[in-house]
Structure 1
Amino acid sequence: MKVTLQEIRERTYKPVDAWWTVLLVDPLASRLVRLVAPYRWITPNVLTLIASIFGFGAAACFAVGDRWALVAGGILFHISFVVDCMDGKIARLNGTGTMFGQWLDFVLDRVRVFFIALALFGGQYAKTHDVAFLWLMAVAIFLDLFRYLNSAQMTKVRNSMKDQIAAFRVPTPVEAEPAAGMGEPADEMPEPAVTAPGNTSLKRRIGATLRRNRIRTHLISGIEYEMSVFIIAPITGLIFPVTIAAGAGLLAFEAFLIFKLYRTCQQFPGKLAAAQAAYDEQEPDRIPSAV
Protein backbone atom coordinates (compact mmCIF):
# COMPACT_ATOMS: atom_id res chain seq x y z
CA MET A 1 0.00 0.00 0.00
CA LYS A 2 1.39 3.37 -1.01
CA VAL A 3 1.82 6.04 1.60
CA THR A 4 0.56 9.55 0.99
CA LEU A 5 2.74 12.58 0.41
CA GLN A 6 1.51 14.02 3.68
CA GLU A 7 2.67 10.91 5.55
CA ILE A 8 6.07 11.15 3.87
CA ARG A 9 6.39 14.81 4.84
CA GLU A 10 5.41 14.11 8.46
CA ARG A 11 7.64 11.08 8.89
CA THR A 12 10.71 11.94 6.83
CA TYR A 13 11.13 15.72 6.68
CA LYS A 14 13.62 17.24 9.11
CA PRO A 15 12.24 19.98 11.40
CA VAL A 16 14.66 22.44 9.75
CA ASP A 17 16.90 21.92 6.75
CA ALA A 18 19.02 23.74 4.19
CA TRP A 19 17.03 26.12 1.99
CA TRP A 20 18.27 24.33 -1.15
CA THR A 21 16.91 21.04 0.18
CA VAL A 22 13.59 22.50 1.33
CA LEU A 23 12.87 24.41 -1.88
CA LEU A 24 14.60 22.44 -4.64
CA VAL A 25 15.01 18.86 -3.41
CA ASP A 26 12.28 17.78 -0.97
CA PRO A 27 9.32 18.44 -3.33
CA LEU A 28 10.82 16.07 -5.92
CA ALA A 29 12.44 13.60 -3.52
CA SER A 30 9.20 13.06 -1.56
CA ARG A 31 7.31 12.15 -4.75
CA LEU A 32 10.04 9.75 -5.83
CA VAL A 33 10.06 8.20 -2.35
CA ARG A 34 6.30 7.61 -2.69
CA LEU A 35 6.95 5.68 -5.91
CA VAL A 36 9.79 3.47 -4.62
CA ALA A 37 8.76 2.96 -0.97
CA PRO A 38 6.62 -0.15 -1.66
CA TYR A 39 9.63 -1.95 -3.20
CA ARG A 40 11.57 -3.15 -0.17
CA TRP A 41 14.58 -4.18 -2.26
CA ILE A 42 15.19 -0.46 -2.87
CA THR A 43 17.04 0.04 0.40
CA PRO A 44 18.84 3.18 1.57
CA ASN A 45 22.17 1.58 0.59
CA VAL A 46 20.89 0.90 -2.92
CA LEU A 47 19.87 4.55 -3.25
CA THR A 48 23.27 5.64 -1.94
CA LEU A 49 24.96 3.62 -4.67
CA ILE A 50 22.59 5.00 -7.34
CA ALA A 51 23.37 8.53 -6.17
CA SER A 52 27.08 7.75 -6.54
CA ILE A 53 26.55 6.50 -10.09
CA PHE A 54 24.83 9.78 -11.04
CA GLY A 55 27.62 11.65 -9.26
CA PHE A 56 30.35 9.94 -11.23
CA GLY A 57 28.32 10.58 -14.39
CA ALA A 58 28.46 14.27 -13.49
CA ALA A 59 32.22 13.96 -13.01
CA ALA A 60 32.59 12.42 -16.48
CA CYS A 61 30.70 15.35 -18.01
CA PHE A 62 32.76 17.89 -16.08
CA ALA A 63 35.97 16.24 -17.29
CA VAL A 64 34.93 16.90 -20.91
CA GLY A 65 34.78 20.56 -20.00
CA ASP A 66 32.84 22.11 -22.90
CA ARG A 67 29.74 24.26 -22.44
CA TRP A 68 26.99 21.65 -22.76
CA ALA A 69 28.96 18.99 -20.92
CA LEU A 70 29.17 21.37 -17.96
CA VAL A 71 25.41 21.92 -18.08
CA ALA A 72 24.79 18.16 -18.23
CA GLY A 73 27.20 17.66 -15.33
CA GLY A 74 25.37 20.23 -13.21
CA ILE A 75 22.01 18.55 -13.89
CA LEU A 76 23.41 15.10 -13.09
CA PHE A 77 24.92 16.40 -9.86
CA HIS A 78 21.52 17.74 -8.78
CA ILE A 79 19.87 14.39 -9.60
CA SER A 80 22.61 12.69 -7.58
CA PHE A 81 21.83 14.92 -4.61
CA VAL A 82 18.07 14.28 -4.89
CA VAL A 83 18.64 10.51 -4.84
CA ASP A 84 21.10 10.92 -1.97
CA CYS A 85 18.39 12.70 0.03
CA MET A 86 15.96 9.87 -0.73
CA ASP A 87 18.03 7.28 1.11
CA GLY A 88 17.51 8.98 4.47
CA LYS A 89 13.79 9.39 3.82
CA ILE A 90 13.40 5.72 2.90
CA ALA A 91 15.34 4.76 6.03
CA ARG A 92 13.03 6.81 8.26
CA LEU A 93 9.87 5.76 6.41
CA ASN A 94 10.52 2.00 6.29
CA GLY A 95 12.76 1.70 9.32
CA THR A 96 15.54 0.21 7.19
CA GLY A 97 18.42 2.46 8.22
CA THR A 98 21.60 0.90 9.61
CA MET A 99 24.80 2.16 11.18
CA PHE A 100 26.74 0.77 8.22
CA GLY A 101 24.41 2.67 5.90
CA GLN A 102 25.21 5.93 7.71
CA TRP A 103 28.92 5.26 7.27
CA LEU A 104 28.50 4.30 3.60
CA ASP A 105 26.45 7.41 2.86
CA PHE A 106 28.97 9.76 4.47
CA VAL A 107 32.05 8.17 2.89
CA LEU A 108 30.59 7.95 -0.62
CA ASP A 109 29.40 11.56 -0.37
CA ARG A 110 32.91 12.74 0.38
CA VAL A 111 34.50 10.50 -2.28
CA ARG A 112 31.98 11.64 -4.86
CA VAL A 113 32.57 15.33 -4.14
CA PHE A 114 36.34 14.82 -4.27
CA PHE A 115 36.30 13.25 -7.73
CA ILE A 116 33.71 15.70 -9.04
CA ALA A 117 35.95 18.59 -7.96
CA LEU A 118 38.93 16.92 -9.66
CA ALA A 119 36.90 16.50 -12.84
CA LEU A 120 35.39 20.01 -12.87
CA PHE A 121 38.52 22.04 -12.21
CA GLY A 122 40.88 19.54 -13.83
CA GLY A 123 38.76 19.62 -16.98
CA GLN A 124 38.95 23.40 -17.10
CA TYR A 125 42.72 23.27 -16.60
CA ALA A 126 43.05 20.76 -19.46
CA LYS A 127 41.12 23.13 -21.76
CA THR A 128 42.71 26.41 -20.72
CA HIS A 129 46.07 25.41 -19.16
CA ASP A 130 45.32 28.04 -16.52
CA VAL A 131 47.03 26.96 -13.28
CA ALA A 132 44.52 29.06 -11.33
CA PHE A 133 41.96 26.28 -11.83
CA LEU A 134 44.23 23.86 -9.98
CA TRP A 135 44.51 26.27 -7.05
CA LEU A 136 40.74 26.71 -7.12
CA MET A 137 40.34 22.93 -7.05
CA ALA A 138 42.55 22.65 -3.96
CA VAL A 139 40.59 25.38 -2.18
CA ALA A 140 37.23 23.84 -3.10
CA ILE A 141 38.21 20.40 -1.81
CA PHE A 142 39.70 21.86 1.37
CA LEU A 143 36.59 23.93 2.17
CA ASP A 144 34.26 20.98 1.63
CA LEU A 145 36.31 18.77 3.97
CA PHE A 146 36.76 21.57 6.50
CA ARG A 147 33.02 22.21 6.68
CA TYR A 148 32.14 18.60 7.46
CA LEU A 149 35.03 17.95 9.84
CA ASN A 150 34.37 21.22 11.67
CA SER A 151 30.65 20.45 11.93
CA ALA A 152 31.35 17.02 13.42
CA GLN A 153 33.80 18.43 15.96
CA MET A 154 31.49 21.28 16.98
CA THR A 155 28.68 18.77 17.49
CA LYS A 156 30.98 16.67 19.67
CA VAL A 157 31.95 19.67 21.83
CA ARG A 158 28.35 20.91 22.20
CA ASN A 159 27.07 17.44 23.10
CA SER A 160 29.83 17.06 25.67
CA MET A 161 28.83 20.33 27.36
CA LYS A 162 25.13 19.40 27.28
CA ASP A 163 25.84 15.97 28.78
CA GLN A 164 27.92 17.42 31.60
CA ILE A 165 25.21 19.92 32.54
CA ALA A 166 22.46 17.31 32.16
CA ALA A 167 24.28 15.08 34.67
CA PHE A 168 23.39 17.62 37.40
CA ARG A 169 19.73 17.99 36.44
CA VAL A 170 16.83 16.05 37.93
CA PRO A 171 14.24 15.65 35.16
CA THR A 172 10.59 16.34 35.88
CA PRO A 173 8.09 13.60 34.99
CA VAL A 174 7.32 15.41 31.72
CA GLU A 175 11.00 15.81 30.83
CA ALA A 176 11.63 12.16 31.61
CA GLU A 177 9.37 11.08 28.76
CA PRO A 178 11.28 10.10 25.58
CA ALA A 179 11.34 12.85 22.95
CA ALA A 180 9.40 12.24 19.75
CA GLY A 181 11.31 14.71 17.59
CA MET A 182 14.68 14.43 15.92
CA GLY A 183 16.48 17.23 17.78
CA GLU A 184 18.20 20.40 16.63
CA PRO A 185 21.01 20.37 14.08
CA ALA A 186 24.45 21.21 15.47
CA ASP A 187 24.50 24.71 14.03
CA GLU A 188 20.87 25.51 14.82
CA MET A 189 20.52 26.35 18.50
CA PRO A 190 16.89 27.02 19.51
CA GLU A 191 15.79 30.62 19.89
CA PRO A 192 14.37 31.77 23.23
CA ALA A 193 10.62 31.16 23.32
CA VAL A 194 9.77 34.45 25.06
CA THR A 195 11.09 37.91 24.34
CA ALA A 196 10.43 41.22 26.05
CA PRO A 197 7.50 43.24 24.64
CA GLY A 198 8.59 45.56 21.87
CA ASN A 199 12.02 43.90 21.73
CA THR A 200 11.40 41.57 18.79
CA SER A 201 14.23 42.37 16.42
CA LEU A 202 14.11 42.11 12.65
CA LYS A 203 16.69 39.33 12.84
CA ARG A 204 14.49 37.29 15.19
CA ARG A 205 11.39 37.83 13.02
CA ILE A 206 13.28 36.69 9.93
CA GLY A 207 14.58 33.65 11.82
CA ALA A 208 11.08 32.74 12.98
CA THR A 209 9.74 33.05 9.42
CA LEU A 210 12.48 30.82 8.06
CA ARG A 211 11.86 28.19 10.73
CA ARG A 212 8.13 28.17 10.06
CA ASN A 213 9.06 27.18 6.51
CA ARG A 214 11.60 24.56 7.75
CA ILE A 215 14.55 26.65 6.54
CA ARG A 216 17.45 26.93 8.95
CA THR A 217 18.98 30.32 9.61
CA HIS A 218 22.46 29.06 8.68
CA LEU A 219 21.87 29.96 5.03
CA ILE A 220 25.27 28.98 3.61
CA SER A 221 26.14 25.49 4.77
CA GLY A 222 28.04 22.69 3.09
CA ILE A 223 24.98 21.87 0.99
CA GLU A 224 24.60 25.37 -0.47
CA TYR A 225 28.34 25.52 -1.03
CA GLU A 226 28.38 22.27 -3.02
CA MET A 227 25.30 23.23 -5.01
CA SER A 228 26.84 26.58 -5.90
CA VAL A 229 30.17 25.08 -7.00
CA PHE A 230 28.88 21.98 -8.78
CA ILE A 231 25.52 23.17 -10.16
CA ILE A 232 25.28 26.95 -10.42
CA ALA A 233 28.92 27.49 -11.46
CA PRO A 234 29.04 24.95 -14.33
CA ILE A 235 25.52 25.67 -15.60
CA THR A 236 26.16 29.42 -15.76
CA GLY A 237 29.73 28.98 -16.99
CA LEU A 238 30.90 31.32 -14.21
CA ILE A 239 33.09 28.75 -12.52
CA PHE A 240 35.66 31.13 -11.10
CA PRO A 241 33.46 33.91 -9.66
CA VAL A 242 30.73 31.59 -8.32
CA THR A 243 33.23 29.26 -6.63
CA ILE A 244 35.07 32.18 -5.02
CA ALA A 245 31.81 33.82 -3.85
CA ALA A 246 30.49 30.53 -2.45
CA GLY A 247 33.77 29.89 -0.64
CA ALA A 248 33.77 33.36 0.88
CA GLY A 249 30.18 32.93 2.05
CA LEU A 250 30.91 29.52 3.56
CA LEU A 251 33.97 30.84 5.42
CA ALA A 252 31.98 33.79 6.77
CA PHE A 253 29.23 31.55 8.16
CA GLU A 254 31.74 29.04 9.55
CA ALA A 255 33.59 31.87 11.29
CA PHE A 256 30.28 33.01 12.80
CA LEU A 257 29.54 29.48 14.06
CA ILE A 258 33.04 29.18 15.52
CA PHE A 259 32.55 32.52 17.30
CA LYS A 260 29.22 31.27 18.73
CA LEU A 261 30.93 28.08 19.91
CA TYR A 262 33.71 30.14 21.51
CA ARG A 263 31.16 32.24 23.41
CA THR A 264 29.31 29.09 24.50
CA CYS A 265 32.55 27.54 25.75
CA GLN A 266 33.33 30.73 27.68
CA GLN A 267 29.93 30.58 29.41
CA PHE A 268 30.09 26.83 30.04
CA PRO A 269 32.11 26.81 33.33
CA GLY A 270 29.64 29.21 34.93
CA LYS A 271 26.62 27.22 33.74
CA LEU A 272 28.19 23.96 34.91
CA ALA A 273 28.97 25.44 38.34
CA ALA A 274 25.39 26.75 38.65
CA ALA A 275 23.97 23.35 37.67
CA GLN A 276 26.19 21.62 40.23
CA ALA A 277 25.22 24.10 42.95
CA ALA A 278 21.50 23.53 42.25
CA TYR A 279 22.09 19.79 42.29
CA ASP A 280 23.90 19.97 45.65
CA GLU A 281 21.05 22.00 47.17
CA GLN A 282 18.47 19.39 46.16
CA GLU A 283 20.57 16.38 47.19
CA PRO A 284 19.52 16.21 50.91
CA ASP A 285 15.80 16.09 49.97
CA ARG A 286 16.14 13.51 47.23
CA ILE A 287 15.03 9.94 47.86
CA PRO A 288 17.71 7.57 46.52
CA SER A 289 16.53 5.57 43.55
CA ALA A 290 16.41 1.79 43.87
CA VAL A 291 19.06 -0.07 41.94
Structure 2
Amino acid sequence: MVEKKRENYTLNDVREQTYKRRDAWWTVWLVDPVAARLVVPLANHTRITPNQISVLAFLFGLFAAGFFLQGDPMSLAWGALFFHLSFVLDCMDGKIARLKGTGSVFGMWLDYMLDRFRVVICSVALMSGQWLATEQTSYLFLALFIIFLDSLRYMDALQLYKLRREMKKRVRRGRMKEEPIIEEEENIQGEMAASAEEISSPSVDLNQTFKRRFQWYLNIRDWLEQHRIRPHLFSGIEFQMFIFIIGPLTGLILEMVVVSAVLLLTFELAIIYKLWLSTKDMDRELTVE
Protein backbone atom coordinates (compact mmCIF):
# COMPACT_ATOMS: atom_id res chain seq x y z
CA MET A 1 0.00 0.00 0.00
CA VAL A 2 1.30 3.45 -0.94
CA GLU A 3 2.07 5.72 1.98
CA LYS A 4 -0.01 8.86 2.25
CA LYS A 5 2.01 12.01 1.55
CA ARG A 6 1.23 13.81 4.74
CA GLU A 7 3.21 15.12 7.70
CA ASN A 8 2.36 17.00 10.86
CA TYR A 9 -0.22 14.52 12.07
CA THR A 10 -1.94 15.64 15.24
CA LEU A 11 -3.24 13.72 18.23
CA ASN A 12 -6.76 14.31 16.95
CA ASP A 13 -5.76 12.75 13.62
CA VAL A 14 -4.57 9.66 15.45
CA ARG A 15 -7.76 9.42 17.48
CA GLU A 16 -10.09 9.98 14.56
CA GLN A 17 -8.31 7.80 12.01
CA THR A 18 -6.87 4.96 14.06
CA TYR A 19 -9.06 4.37 17.10
CA LYS A 20 -11.36 1.37 16.74
CA ARG A 21 -15.05 2.00 17.26
CA ARG A 22 -14.99 -0.54 20.07
CA ASP A 23 -11.98 -2.05 21.79
CA ALA A 24 -10.93 -3.92 24.94
CA TRP A 25 -11.22 -1.85 28.11
CA TRP A 26 -7.54 -2.48 28.88
CA THR A 27 -6.62 -0.96 25.53
CA VAL A 28 -9.04 1.97 25.80
CA TRP A 29 -8.02 3.00 29.30
CA LEU A 30 -4.41 1.87 29.70
CA VAL A 31 -2.88 1.67 26.23
CA ASP A 32 -4.47 4.04 23.71
CA PRO A 33 -3.73 7.23 25.70
CA VAL A 34 -0.02 6.35 25.65
CA ALA A 35 0.17 4.73 22.21
CA ALA A 36 -1.61 7.61 20.47
CA ARG A 37 0.83 10.17 21.87
CA LEU A 38 3.82 8.09 20.82
CA VAL A 39 2.44 7.61 17.32
CA VAL A 40 2.40 11.37 16.62
CA PRO A 41 6.22 11.94 16.67
CA LEU A 42 6.90 8.58 15.03
CA ALA A 43 4.52 9.33 12.18
CA ASN A 44 5.79 12.88 11.72
CA HIS A 45 9.54 12.46 12.13
CA THR A 46 10.46 8.88 11.24
CA ARG A 47 10.01 6.40 8.43
CA ILE A 48 9.44 3.49 10.76
CA THR A 49 7.06 0.91 9.28
CA PRO A 50 4.30 -1.06 11.01
CA ASN A 51 6.25 -4.29 10.49
CA GLN A 52 9.31 -2.81 12.19
CA ILE A 53 7.17 -1.80 15.16
CA SER A 54 5.73 -5.33 15.30
CA VAL A 55 9.23 -6.79 15.48
CA LEU A 56 10.24 -4.24 18.13
CA ALA A 57 7.16 -5.16 20.17
CA PHE A 58 8.19 -8.81 19.97
CA LEU A 59 11.72 -7.95 21.14
CA PHE A 60 10.26 -6.17 24.18
CA GLY A 61 8.29 -9.33 24.81
CA LEU A 62 11.55 -11.29 24.80
CA PHE A 63 12.98 -8.88 27.38
CA ALA A 64 9.88 -9.49 29.50
CA ALA A 65 10.41 -13.25 29.20
CA GLY A 66 14.04 -12.90 30.30
CA PHE A 67 12.97 -11.12 33.47
CA PHE A 68 10.13 -13.57 34.10
CA LEU A 69 12.57 -16.45 33.97
CA GLN A 70 14.58 -15.04 36.88
CA GLY A 71 11.55 -15.36 39.13
CA ASP A 72 12.39 -12.90 41.92
CA PRO A 73 9.93 -10.08 42.76
CA MET A 74 12.02 -7.28 41.23
CA SER A 75 12.57 -9.20 38.01
CA LEU A 76 8.88 -10.03 37.82
CA ALA A 77 8.04 -6.32 38.11
CA TRP A 78 10.45 -5.47 35.29
CA GLY A 79 8.99 -8.30 33.25
CA ALA A 80 5.48 -6.90 33.73
CA LEU A 81 6.67 -3.45 32.64
CA PHE A 82 8.32 -4.76 29.48
CA PHE A 83 5.28 -6.85 28.66
CA HIS A 84 3.05 -3.80 28.92
CA LEU A 85 5.44 -1.77 26.76
CA SER A 86 5.42 -4.63 24.27
CA PHE A 87 1.65 -4.45 24.08
CA VAL A 88 1.71 -0.66 23.70
CA LEU A 89 4.04 -1.06 20.71
CA ASP A 90 1.82 -3.84 19.40
CA CYS A 91 -1.09 -1.38 19.34
CA MET A 92 1.04 1.29 17.68
CA ASP A 93 1.83 -0.73 14.56
CA GLY A 94 -1.82 -0.82 13.55
CA LYS A 95 -2.24 2.87 14.27
CA ILE A 96 0.73 3.79 12.10
CA ALA A 97 -0.63 1.56 9.33
CA ARG A 98 -4.08 3.13 9.41
CA LEU A 99 -2.77 6.68 9.78
CA LYS A 100 -0.22 6.55 6.95
CA GLY A 101 -1.87 3.93 4.77
CA THR A 102 1.08 1.55 5.02
CA GLY A 103 -0.74 -1.58 6.17
CA SER A 104 -0.39 -4.88 4.32
CA VAL A 105 -1.74 -8.41 4.39
CA PHE A 106 1.72 -9.69 5.31
CA GLY A 107 1.84 -7.18 8.16
CA MET A 108 -1.43 -8.56 9.53
CA TRP A 109 0.02 -12.08 9.45
CA LEU A 110 3.31 -10.98 11.02
CA ASP A 111 1.57 -9.10 13.81
CA TYR A 112 -0.69 -12.04 14.61
CA MET A 113 2.09 -14.65 14.60
CA LEU A 114 4.45 -12.57 16.73
CA ASP A 115 1.65 -12.04 19.25
CA ARG A 116 1.16 -15.78 19.56
CA PHE A 117 4.92 -16.43 19.84
CA ARG A 118 5.15 -13.78 22.57
CA VAL A 119 2.45 -15.52 24.60
CA VAL A 120 4.16 -18.90 24.22
CA ILE A 121 7.61 -17.62 25.18
CA CYS A 122 6.41 -15.51 28.09
CA SER A 123 4.20 -18.33 29.41
CA VAL A 124 7.09 -20.78 29.42
CA ALA A 125 9.49 -18.23 30.92
CA LEU A 126 7.12 -17.04 33.66
CA MET A 127 6.14 -20.50 34.80
CA SER A 128 9.65 -21.90 34.45
CA GLY A 129 10.90 -19.12 36.70
CA GLN A 130 8.31 -20.04 39.30
CA TRP A 131 9.18 -23.72 38.96
CA LEU A 132 12.88 -22.97 39.52
CA ALA A 133 12.02 -20.82 42.54
CA THR A 134 9.54 -23.21 44.17
CA GLU A 135 10.34 -26.62 42.61
CA GLN A 136 6.60 -27.11 42.06
CA THR A 137 6.15 -28.88 38.74
CA SER A 138 2.53 -27.72 38.59
CA TYR A 139 3.81 -24.40 37.22
CA LEU A 140 5.07 -26.16 34.09
CA PHE A 141 1.59 -27.50 33.42
CA LEU A 142 0.21 -24.01 33.93
CA ALA A 143 2.37 -22.79 31.06
CA LEU A 144 0.75 -25.33 28.75
CA PHE A 145 -2.68 -24.39 30.12
CA ILE A 146 -2.13 -20.69 29.35
CA ILE A 147 -0.93 -21.44 25.82
CA PHE A 148 -3.93 -23.71 25.24
CA LEU A 149 -6.46 -21.12 26.41
CA ASP A 150 -4.84 -18.34 24.38
CA SER A 151 -4.91 -20.49 21.24
CA LEU A 152 -8.47 -21.61 21.94
CA ARG A 153 -9.64 -18.03 22.31
CA TYR A 154 -8.25 -16.89 18.96
CA MET A 155 -9.27 -20.00 17.05
CA ASP A 156 -12.79 -19.74 18.45
CA ALA A 157 -12.94 -16.03 17.57
CA LEU A 158 -12.03 -16.78 13.96
CA GLN A 159 -14.62 -19.52 13.62
CA LEU A 160 -17.34 -17.41 15.24
CA TYR A 161 -16.54 -14.58 12.86
CA LYS A 162 -16.90 -16.89 9.85
CA LEU A 163 -20.16 -18.30 11.18
CA ARG A 164 -21.65 -14.85 11.76
CA ARG A 165 -20.84 -13.79 8.22
CA GLU A 166 -22.32 -16.99 6.80
CA MET A 167 -25.52 -16.61 8.84
CA LYS A 168 -26.08 -13.05 7.66
CA LYS A 169 -25.37 -14.06 4.07
CA ARG A 170 -27.95 -16.86 4.22
CA VAL A 171 -30.63 -14.51 5.50
CA ARG A 172 -29.82 -11.91 2.83
CA ARG A 173 -29.96 -14.57 0.12
CA GLY A 174 -33.32 -15.76 1.40
CA ARG A 175 -34.69 -12.22 1.35
CA MET A 176 -33.23 -11.00 -1.91
CA LYS A 177 -33.34 -14.24 -3.92
CA GLU A 178 -29.97 -13.35 -5.41
CA GLU A 179 -26.80 -15.17 -6.26
CA PRO A 180 -24.31 -15.70 -3.40
CA ILE A 181 -22.76 -12.45 -2.24
CA ILE A 182 -19.05 -12.05 -2.94
CA GLU A 183 -17.27 -11.28 0.30
CA GLU A 184 -15.17 -8.16 0.58
CA GLU A 185 -11.56 -8.32 1.75
CA GLU A 186 -11.47 -9.25 5.43
CA ASN A 187 -9.38 -7.81 8.21
CA ILE A 188 -9.15 -11.05 10.15
CA GLN A 189 -6.98 -9.71 12.95
CA GLY A 190 -9.29 -6.79 13.63
CA GLU A 191 -12.39 -8.96 13.58
CA MET A 192 -10.84 -11.53 15.91
CA ALA A 193 -10.00 -8.81 18.40
CA ALA A 194 -13.67 -7.74 18.33
CA SER A 195 -15.23 -11.17 18.59
CA ALA A 196 -18.28 -9.93 20.50
CA GLU A 197 -19.47 -8.03 17.41
CA GLU A 198 -23.24 -7.94 17.08
CA ILE A 199 -24.74 -10.27 14.46
CA SER A 200 -26.76 -7.41 13.04
CA SER A 201 -26.78 -4.87 10.24
CA PRO A 202 -29.31 -2.39 8.85
CA SER A 203 -30.92 -5.32 6.98
CA VAL A 204 -30.14 -8.35 9.15
CA ASP A 205 -30.64 -8.55 12.91
CA LEU A 206 -30.04 -11.98 14.39
CA ASN A 207 -29.97 -10.81 17.99
CA GLN A 208 -33.70 -10.41 18.50
CA THR A 209 -34.11 -13.31 20.92
CA PHE A 210 -31.07 -12.25 22.92
CA LYS A 211 -32.37 -8.68 23.20
CA ARG A 212 -35.78 -9.87 24.40
CA ARG A 213 -34.31 -12.14 27.06
CA PHE A 214 -31.65 -9.73 28.30
CA GLN A 215 -33.13 -6.26 28.02
CA TRP A 216 -31.25 -5.18 31.16
CA TYR A 217 -28.00 -5.84 29.33
CA LEU A 218 -28.78 -3.40 26.52
CA ASN A 219 -28.32 -0.32 28.73
CA ILE A 220 -24.97 -1.65 29.93
CA ARG A 221 -23.91 -2.37 26.36
CA ASP A 222 -24.90 1.12 25.23
CA TRP A 223 -22.93 2.73 28.07
CA LEU A 224 -19.85 0.67 27.24
CA GLU A 225 -20.07 1.52 23.56
CA GLN A 226 -20.35 5.22 24.35
CA HIS A 227 -16.94 4.85 25.97
CA ARG A 228 -15.54 2.74 23.07
CA ILE A 229 -15.50 -0.39 25.20
CA ARG A 230 -16.74 -3.61 23.65
CA PRO A 231 -19.17 -5.72 25.71
CA HIS A 232 -16.80 -8.70 25.62
CA LEU A 233 -15.16 -7.49 28.84
CA PHE A 234 -12.70 -10.33 29.26
CA SER A 235 -11.10 -11.30 25.99
CA GLY A 236 -7.66 -12.57 25.04
CA ILE A 237 -6.18 -9.16 25.79
CA GLU A 238 -7.36 -9.04 29.40
CA PHE A 239 -6.41 -12.71 29.79
CA GLN A 240 -2.81 -11.92 28.89
CA MET A 241 -2.61 -8.75 30.96
CA PHE A 242 -3.91 -10.41 34.11
CA ILE A 243 -1.35 -13.19 33.81
CA PHE A 244 1.70 -11.28 32.57
CA ILE A 245 1.20 -7.93 34.29
CA ILE A 246 -1.12 -8.10 37.31
CA GLY A 247 0.12 -11.53 38.39
CA PRO A 248 3.84 -10.66 38.42
CA LEU A 249 3.26 -7.23 39.99
CA THR A 250 1.14 -8.61 42.84
CA GLY A 251 2.98 -11.90 43.26
CA LEU A 252 -0.35 -13.70 42.79
CA ILE A 253 0.65 -15.55 39.65
CA LEU A 254 -1.24 -18.78 40.32
CA GLU A 255 -4.32 -16.89 41.47
CA MET A 256 -4.34 -14.67 38.39
CA VAL A 257 -4.10 -17.69 36.10
CA VAL A 258 -7.13 -19.24 37.78
CA VAL A 259 -9.18 -16.02 37.84
CA SER A 260 -8.37 -15.06 34.26
CA ALA A 261 -9.07 -18.59 33.00
CA VAL A 262 -12.49 -18.63 34.68
CA LEU A 263 -13.40 -15.19 33.34
CA LEU A 264 -12.17 -15.97 29.83
CA LEU A 265 -14.13 -19.22 29.64
CA THR A 266 -17.23 -17.56 31.12
CA PHE A 267 -17.27 -14.90 28.43
CA GLU A 268 -16.53 -17.46 25.72
CA LEU A 269 -19.51 -19.54 26.84
CA ALA A 270 -21.66 -16.41 26.87
CA ILE A 271 -20.68 -15.69 23.26
CA ILE A 272 -21.44 -19.27 22.23
CA TYR A 273 -24.84 -19.05 23.95
CA LYS A 274 -25.53 -15.79 22.13
CA LEU A 275 -24.55 -17.43 18.85
CA TRP A 276 -26.94 -20.31 19.56
CA LEU A 277 -29.79 -17.86 20.13
CA SER A 278 -28.87 -16.17 16.87
CA THR A 279 -29.23 -19.45 14.99
CA LYS A 280 -32.83 -19.57 16.24
CA ASP A 281 -33.41 -16.09 14.83
CA MET A 282 -31.84 -17.15 11.55
CA ASP A 283 -34.08 -20.23 11.31
CA ARG A 284 -37.16 -18.09 11.89
CA GLU A 285 -36.06 -15.58 9.27
CA LEU A 286 -35.54 -18.33 6.68
CA THR A 287 -38.82 -20.08 7.59
CA VAL A 288 -40.81 -16.88 7.14
CA GLU A 289 -39.26 -16.37 3.74
Name the amino acid aligned to 1:272.
Answer: L
1:188 equivalent to 2:197? Answer yes
| Consecutive unaligned residues in structure 2, runs of 5 or more | 1-6, 177-183, 185-189
Kindly name which structure, 1 or 2, has the bigger radius of gyration based on alpha carbons. 1
**Structure 1 Cα separation of the partners of residues 194 and 127 of structure 2:** 32
| Consecutive unaligned residues in structure 1, runs of 5 or more | 171-177, 278-291
Alignment counterpart, residue 217 of structure 1, candidates 231, 234, 243: 231
**Structure 2 Cα separation of the partners of residues 54 and 38 of structure 1:** 23
1:162-173 paired onto structure 2 within 5 Å:
162-170=168-176
1:8-27 paired onto structure 2 within 5 Å:
8-27=14-33
1:138-177 paired onto structure 2 within 5 Å:
138-170=144-176
Match of 1:286 in 2: none
For residues 190-216 of structure 1, give each alpha carbon's deviation from its aligned partner in whole angstroms, at most 9, with x where no partner exists.
788x9xxxx995432222111100011
TM (norm. structure 1) is 0.84
Name the amino acid aligned to 2:68.
Answer: F
Match of 1:7 in 2: 13
Alignment counterpart, residue 35 of structure 1, candidates 32, 38, 41: 41
Q: Percent of aligned positions with the same letter in both sequences?
A: 43
8 Å contact from structure 2 (residues 247, 256) kept in 1: yes
**Structure 1 Cα separation of the partners of residues 256 and 96 of structure 2:** 33
Name the amino acid aligned to 2:252.
Answer: L
Match of 2:267 in 1: 253
- 200-209 vs 88-97, greater mean Cα deviation: 200-209
TM (norm. structure 2) is 0.85
Secondary structure class of the residue paired with 1:25 = helix
**Structure 2 Cα separation of the partners of residues 251 and 120 of structure 1:** 22
Match of 2:255 in 1: 241
Name the amino acid aligned to 1:154.
Answer: L
Name the amino acid aligned to 2:145.
Answer: V
1:87-106 paired onto structure 2 within 5 Å:
87-106=93-112
Match of 1:271 in 2: 285
**Structure 2 Cα separation of the partners of residues 201 and 165 of structure 1:** 24
Report the number of matched residues: 262
**Structure 2 Cα separation of the partners of residues 33 and 80 of structure 1:** 14
**Structure 2 Cα separation of the partners of residues 267 and 190 of structure 1:** 10
RMSD of aligned Cα (Å): 2.5
**Structure 2 Cα separation of the partners of residues 190 and 31 of structure 1:** 34
CA shift at 1:261, angstroms?
A: 1.3
- 259-268 vs 12-21, greater mean Cα deviation: 259-268
CA shift at 1:185, angstroms?
A: 3.3
1:42-57 paired onto structure 2 within 5 Å:
42-57=48-63
**Structure 2 Cα separation of the partners of residues 202 and 102 of structure 1:** 37
For residues 156-184 of structure 1, give each alpha carbon's deviation from its aligned partner in whole angstroms, at most 9, with x where no partner exists.
111111122223445xxxxxxx9xxx989
- 12-21 vs 160-169, greater mean Cα deviation: 160-169
For residues 114-149 of structure 1, give each alpha carbon's deviation from its aligned partner in whole angstroms, at most 9, with x where no partner exists.
000000001110111101211221211111111001
**Structure 1 Cα separation of the partners of residues 125 and 246 of structure 2:** 16
Match of 2:242 in 1: 228
Name the amino acid aligned to 1:188.
Answer: E
8 Å contact from structure 2 (residues 49, 96) kept in 1: yes
